[in-house]
Amino acid sequence: MPSKVDAFRVFIASPGGLEAERKVIREEIERFNSAFIKENNIVFSSQGWEDVPGGARRPQELINELIVSCDYLILILGTRWGTQPAIDARYTSGIEEEFYLANDCLDRETSPMRDILVLFKGVPEEQLSDPGEQLLKVIAFKKLLEETKQVFYKTFDDLESLRREVAARLRGWARNRSAEKPRVQSEYGERQRNLPPHSLPQQESPRLVDEVPMGRPALTAAERFERKVCKILETDRSLVKSS
């Protein structure tokens, strides 16, 4: 009698400029499946924005529908933070929106999301001395994760060290999964993808939002994030050089 194999989705989130890293993660997932499917009866499938069909809606909404159907999220950041996913968006980049959406899914029993792996690519010292707007936002996000202890992130310096980090996490996920069943059945993903945009979970970005006194205009997402960056740098002048 053939063995039952459980399949789990891994969404790969990243801003532009990390195509080689995205390819390595997909390759490592395939390598894991080939080596361990018989041992674990578990396979992982890589998902990303490339797998999202086009549509007459905000692109990030279409991507979000795929994320809420996934079991894991791997987020990789280098020197770029990305751009706002909409003109009037609450978030400063698609990456920020994807992270908080996945984090919100972790707290919901109806969601298949079970873990988030955040990976920061090492940055040359000369670039840290003059980071620029994009890298400064990446550094600020890294500092926020350290302060809030929301996620235990990892770092990598090259493609081989990235392979090792991904392989180790895949093995850990497989061990955990072998001892439990998915919280929801496989049709959850199909049901989520058929939901209208307003049915998707709506959450604020609690770590990057500053309260605005009553009577003053609300800050834009970009202004909120810039304020947070300034606060971090004011309290830690050595942040850029020590990161």
- Map out the domains of the chain with their CATH numbers: 6-242 (3.40.50)
pLDDT of residue 44: 96
Q: Would you say residue 64 has pLDDT above 70?
A: yes
pLDDT, tens digit, for every residue of 182-212? 444 433 344 343 433 333 444 444 344 344 4
pLDDT, tens digit, for every residue of 113-137? 999 999 999 998 888 888 899 999 9
3-state secondary structure of 221: helix
Question: DSSP H helical segments within the chain, as ranges?
Answer: 19-40, 59-67, 94-106, 125-128, 132-148, 159-178, 187-193, 221-235, 239-242
pLDDT of residue 228: 58
Nearest-CA neighbor of 50 among 81, 93, 73, 19?
19
pLDDT of residue 14: 97
